Amino acid sequence: MDADLEFLIARWQAELNVAVQCKIVSWDEYLDRLQNNLPDIYMSIWVNDYPDPDNFLRENDAVRWAGWQEPRYLELVDSARRILDQQKRLEMYREADRILIEAATLVPFKYLRSHFLIKPWVKRFPVSGVGWWYLSETILGSKEEH
């Protein structure tokens, strides 16, 4: 069993006196359950496709799968995606995020980050806004230059 899952089950038991039974299923069964027989609770992962709150708050399948329909939230994320004023957009997404978290429809468990240690002789190491790196476009210099 996954260490994160073991941690959650232990904490729920210790803090809430709630016994949770876990079943790990195939990807096909997982998708079928999300669409046809939604479990009370499930773990999912979302990796951004582009570095913008819209990708987490509007495009995220977890909110859709939960069947959660909050009119103010839906209005905010739909309107924010059409606004060009970045500050106003971010304010709207912050408010939508607050609504989502307060409803506990989606509970972020952890955020992953990537760290790169790059030698000084690496002249070019392109990384996208979502953390993908492009080794074929990396340019190396000479160690002697440094």
Radius of gyration of the chain (CA): 20
**pLDDT, tens only, 102-128:** 988 777 777 777 788 888 899 999 887
Decide: 116 and 125 in contact? Cβ < 8 Å.
yes
Band of pLDDT at residue 64, cut at 50, 70 and 90: confident
Question: Do 101 and 61 sit in the same domain of this protein?
Answer: yes
Question: Do 57 and 17 sit in the same domain of this protein?
Answer: no
Report d(CA 82, CA 65) in Å as an integer: 24
Question: Do 37 and 81 sit in the same domain of this protein?
Answer: no
Report d(CA 78, CA 35) in Å as an integer: 23
Domain containing 142 equals 113-146
Report d(CA 46, CA 37) in Å as an integer: 21
Question: Do 33 and 76 sit in the same domain of this protein?
Answer: no
Report the pLDDT averaged over residues 81-91. 95
pLDDT at 81: 93
Question: Do 142 and 117 sit in the same domain of this protein?
Answer: yes
Question: Do 52 and 104 sit in the same domain of this protein?
Answer: yes
pTM more than 0.85? no
Number of domains observed in the structure of the chain = 3
